[in-house]
């Protein structure tokens, strides 16, 4: 008898999984990878080569620092891959620290991220955006007002530039986009990341194959700080450019199949960024000598100007702004989940933990982070801002990385879909490098470092307040 055929049932679309915290798992592997690549590649690759060569003096040392920082970032990504796949919850490092060290350390991390780490990173990116836009409108760099208080660089009066207001506006616009849905924010992230990676690859090809370079430039040098202090100062700049690979862990509760997609996004995304960074720096120094890189804030534009003239430099500025725009969007998308996670745990205002009933986003947390970041734009120059960010963040990066070791003993029963290779040596290498960086930054930039520590410590009184409030609420429920 002929085989009886059964009509295929129409495919039923699987509903989007909603988490117990009210957020939805609707971000796929491409969204996760675009958060890694799009958030990491921002303004740093276009702006920090000057800082780096002024500290180490030669192209060879600059490239070594980029590779060294990249290896550290890969070690960190592999470590975080185990943690994030085992605990795919909103908040990233906040969750790791809470499980390993308890609520106090998690709270101080969240406090630092809100007021310094993530907000400072967003402010720094927005400042880089206006610096590149000033290529087309130099009036943006003019001083609008001077505040006669020691709030500026090295304790000088604080200068407010016209372009800083434009940078604040960009933060507000992207906060609004992410308020209207994680899927919308992720869609913008994917699109802009694809565009910017394409443009950066074009810049690399132009530099290496444009016919205006010479290998002799790799043997040039410029006066520099040098020594161990110079190396670590350059490493601070490089790690700022690499900063952001951890952001995908903050949106873990909104990623589909997190046990597979988070490790893939972390490892492959970070490796792609390291490759791009090393290649574009090779292009910079192939076209420009060290002395030129040391005197320009817009090294990519200067390189393309040598090859294509002024119109090419303008095109690079547009590419840089697209790159920064994507990094800003990813930072707002991911960073807003940390205050939200704190509020869910009762360690922050309850209103910050609310999910918008229609858009399913932590709307209040997005408004808080975006608003404070916009204010921070007024607080300093680009290099001063990233020193604040890296010092404060490195302390908690080291603690979060060490939690992978602590939890192996504290929570041996924890399901680990992915395990970091080379355990415990690879996490230890990452931690030791970060501790060295913290000490070096404290010595070289004591003012910014002490201010960062002060902001972290300022969270202690409020932690006591939230702890008492939680006890009162529990007592009220029990009675």
Burial of 438 (0-12, 13-18, 19+ CB in 10 A): buried
The answer to whether 306 and 100 are in contact (CB under 8 A) is: no
Higher confidence at residue 132 or residue 389? 132
Tokens standing for 287? 């076209």
Q: Residue 16: is its pLDDT beyond 50?
A: no
The answer to whether 54 and 294 are in contact (CB under 8 A) is: yes
- Of the pLDDT bands very low, low, confident and very high (cuts 50, 70, 90), residue 10 is very low
Tokens standing for 261? 């997609």
Higher confidence at residue 36 or residue 474? 36
- Amino acid 172: pLDDT: 95
For the stretch 372-406, pLDDT in tens is 999 888 876 655 556 666 777 888 989 999 999 99
* Rg of the chain taking only CA atoms, in angstroms: 23
For the stretch 198-222, pLDDT in tens is 999 999 999 999 888 899 999 999 9
Contacts of 265 (CB under 8 A, 6+ apart): 29, 32, 33, 35, 36, 248, 255
For the stretch 322-341, pLDDT in tens is 888 888 988 898 889 999 99
List the single range of 203-207, 228-232, 341-345, 468-472 with lowest mean pLDDT.
468-472
Q: Residue 436: is its pLDDT beyond 80?
A: yes
Average pLDDT over residues 78-106: 92
Q: What is the mean pLDDT of the chain?
A: 85
Average pLDDT over residues 307-321: 83
User: What is the C-alpha to C-alpha distance for residues 101 and 412, in angstroms, rounded to an integer?
Assistant: 15
Q: Which residues pair with 18 in a beta bridge?
A: 24
Burial of 346 (0-12, 13-18, 19+ CB in 10 A): middle
- Of the pLDDT bands very low, low, confident and very high (cuts 50, 70, 90), residue 466 is confident
Q: Which of 315, 411, 321, 433 is nearest to 95 (CA)?
A: 411
- Amino acid 478: pLDDT: 67
User: What is the C-alpha to C-alpha distance for residues 268 and 37, in angstroms, rounded to an integer?
Assistant: 9
Q: Which of 419, 338, 425, 424 is nearest to 81 (CA)?
A: 419
The answer, yes or no, to whether the previous bond of 92 is cis (omega within 30 of 0) is: no
- Amino acid 150: pLDDT: 56
The answer to whether 27 and 301 are in contact (CB under 8 A) is: no
Burial of 112 (0-12, 13-18, 19+ CB in 10 A): buried
User: What is the C-alpha to C-alpha distance for residues 68 and 16, in angstroms, rounded to an integer?
Assistant: 41
Architecture (CATH level 2) of domain 25-466? Up-down Bundle (1.20)
For the stretch 25-57, pLDDT in tens is 888 888 888 888 988 887 778 878 999 999 999
Q: Which of 273, 211, 247 is nearest to 71 (CA)?
A: 273
Q: Residue 171: is its pLDDT beyond 80?
A: yes
Virtual torsion, Cα 335, 77, 447, 144, nearest 10 deg: -50
Q: Residue 77: is its pLDDT beyond 80?
A: yes
- Which pTM was predicted? 0.82
How many other C-beta atoms are found inside a 10 Å radius of the C-beta of residue 177? 17
Higher confidence at residue 116 or residue 78? 78
Domain boundaries in the chain? 25-466
Please write down the HEC assignment for all residues of the chain. Answer: CCCCCCCCCCCCCCCCEECCCCCEECECHHHHHHHHHHHHCCCHHHHCHHHHHHHHCCHHHHHHHHHHHHHHHHHHHHHHHHHHHHCCCECCHHHHHHHHHCHHHHHHHHHHHHHHHHHHHHHHHHHHHHHHHCCCCHHHHCEEEEECCCCCHHHCCEEEEHHHHHHHHHHHHHHHHHHCCHHHHHHHHHHHHHHHHHHHHHHHHHHHHCCCCCHHHHHCCCCCCCHHHHHHHHHHHHHHHHCCHHHHHHEHHHECCHHHHHHHHHHHHHHHHHHHHHHHHHHHHHHCCHHHHCCCCCHHHHHHHHHHCHHHHHHHHHHHHHHHHHHHHHHHHHHCHHHHHHHHCCCCCHHHHCCCCCCCCCHHHHHHHHHHHHHHHHHCCHHHHHHHHHHHHHHHHHHHHHHHHHHHHHCCCCCCCCCCCCCCHHHHHHHHHHHHHHHHHHHHCHHHHHHHHHHHHCHHHHHHHHHHHHHHHHHHHHC
- Amino acid 151: pLDDT: 59
């Amino acid at each position: 008898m002929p085989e009886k055929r059964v009509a295929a049932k129409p495919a039923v679309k699987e509903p989007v999984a909603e988490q117990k915290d009210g957020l939805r798992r609707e971000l796929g592997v491409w969204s996760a990878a675009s958060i890694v690549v799009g958030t990491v590649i921002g303004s740093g690759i276009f702006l920090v080569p000057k800082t780096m060569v002024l500290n180490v003096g030669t192209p060879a040392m600059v490239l070594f620092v980029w590779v060294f920082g990249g290896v550290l970032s890969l070690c960190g990504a592999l470590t975080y891959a185990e943690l994030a796949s085992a605990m795919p919850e909103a908040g990233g490092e906040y969750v790791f620290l809470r499980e390993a060290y308890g609520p106090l350390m998690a709270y101080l991390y969240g406090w630092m991220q809100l007021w310094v780490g993530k907000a400072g990173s967003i402010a720094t990116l927005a400042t880089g955006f206006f610096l590149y836009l000033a290529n087309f409108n130099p009036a943006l760099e003019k001083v609008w007002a001077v505040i006669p208080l020691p709030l500026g660089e090295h304790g000088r009066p604080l200068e407010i530039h016209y372009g800083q207001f434009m940078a604040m506006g960009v933060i507000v616009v992207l906060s609004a986009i992410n308020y209207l849905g994680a899927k919308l924010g992720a869609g913008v992230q994917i699109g802009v990341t694809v565009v910017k990676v394409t443009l950066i690859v074009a810049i690399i090809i132009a530099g290496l194959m444009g016919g205006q370079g010479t290998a002799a430039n790799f043997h040039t040098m410029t006066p520099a700080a040098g020594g161990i202090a110079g190396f670590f100062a350059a490493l601070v700049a490089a790690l700022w450019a690499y900063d952001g690979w951890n952001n995908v862990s903050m949106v873990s509760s909104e990623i589909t199949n997190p046990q597979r997609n988070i490790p893939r996004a972390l490892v492959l995304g970070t490796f792609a960024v390291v490759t791009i960074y090393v290649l574009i720096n090779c292009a910079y120094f192939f076209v420009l000598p060290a002395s030129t890189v040391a005197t320009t804030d817009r090294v990519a534009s200067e390189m393309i100007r040598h090859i294509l003239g002024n119109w090419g430099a303008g095109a690079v500025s547009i590419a840089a702004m697209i790159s920064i725009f994507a990094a800003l969007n990813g930072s707002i998308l991911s960073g807003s989940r940390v205050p939200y996670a704190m509020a869910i745990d009762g360690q922050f205002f309850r209103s910050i933990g609310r999910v918008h009933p229609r858009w399913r986003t932590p709307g209040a947390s997005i408004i808080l982070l975006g608003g404070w970041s916009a204010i921070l734009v007024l607080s300093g120059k680009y290099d001063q801002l990233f020193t604040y960010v890296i010092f404060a963040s490195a302390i908690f990066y080291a603690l979060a990385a060490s939690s992978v070791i602590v939890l192996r003993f504290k929570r041996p029963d924890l399901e680990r879909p992915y395990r970091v290779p080379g355990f415990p040596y690879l996490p230890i290498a990452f931690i030791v490098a970060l501790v060295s960086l913290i000490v070096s930054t404290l010595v070289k930039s004591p003012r910014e470092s002490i201010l960062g520590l002060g902001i972290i410590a300022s969270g202690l009184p409020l932690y006591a307040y939230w702890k008492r409030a939680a006890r009162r609420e529990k007592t009220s429920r029990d009675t």
